[in-house]
Structure 1
Amino acid sequence: MFILSNFLLAVSYTLDIALEIYKWIVIISALVSFVNPDPYNPVIKFLRASTEPVYRFIRRYIPTVVYNVDFAPFIVILIIIFLQKFLVPTLQQLAYRLS
């Protein structure tokens, strides 16, 4: 069972790092949207390509634009924080109980 325990620990740490990186991508994308950047810039293309599918999914179920302010990045960040505080520790506790 120690192999499954180690696997779950590795998954939880990797998931935590991936969620943290994506949270910063969302924050940077939201900040850049205030300055009307060049849409042909490769960094801007990357930011839009990595965040717009998630924003579209959120906007499909929740109307997020109020007074021309888009709350989709805020909702995504809240979901990421929830996953970091609930899912990652749950996986770690499960791994520790299996060992």
Structure 2
Amino acid sequence: TAVVFDLAIGSDLGFNGDCFMLPVGYVPVLLVDDDRTRAFESFFVDALNAVGKGFLRWEAGVLGAPSAEEMAQYRAVIWFTGNDRRNTLTPSDQEELAAYLGAGGNLFITGE
């Protein structure tokens, strides 16, 4: 279950709005948005919504990469890097993913 918020912010210079979801209760999938753009998340969001899977979207550009402990709270992690060819996974990201997988985690990682 999720609560959907529609946030509208206005100013003399223009109007911006955004819609975001706040998960309530357990969500099985962590969706790590590590593409630094808004180009790819709709593919994953639409697919997860279509099959009725609850998920939490993690903005790596804002929050940093999730730790192995944070990822372990989810049944699966989907991590996408989009078109980024240089800064996809840092050594720290790789260590956290290795620890998560070593503890039995489920990962789908993708990039262009």
- Provide the TM-score with structure 2 as the length reference: 0.21
Structure with greater proportional helix content: 1
Higher strand share: 2
Relative contact order (C-alpha < 8 Å, sep 6+): which is higher?
Answer: 1
State the structure with more CA Rg.
1
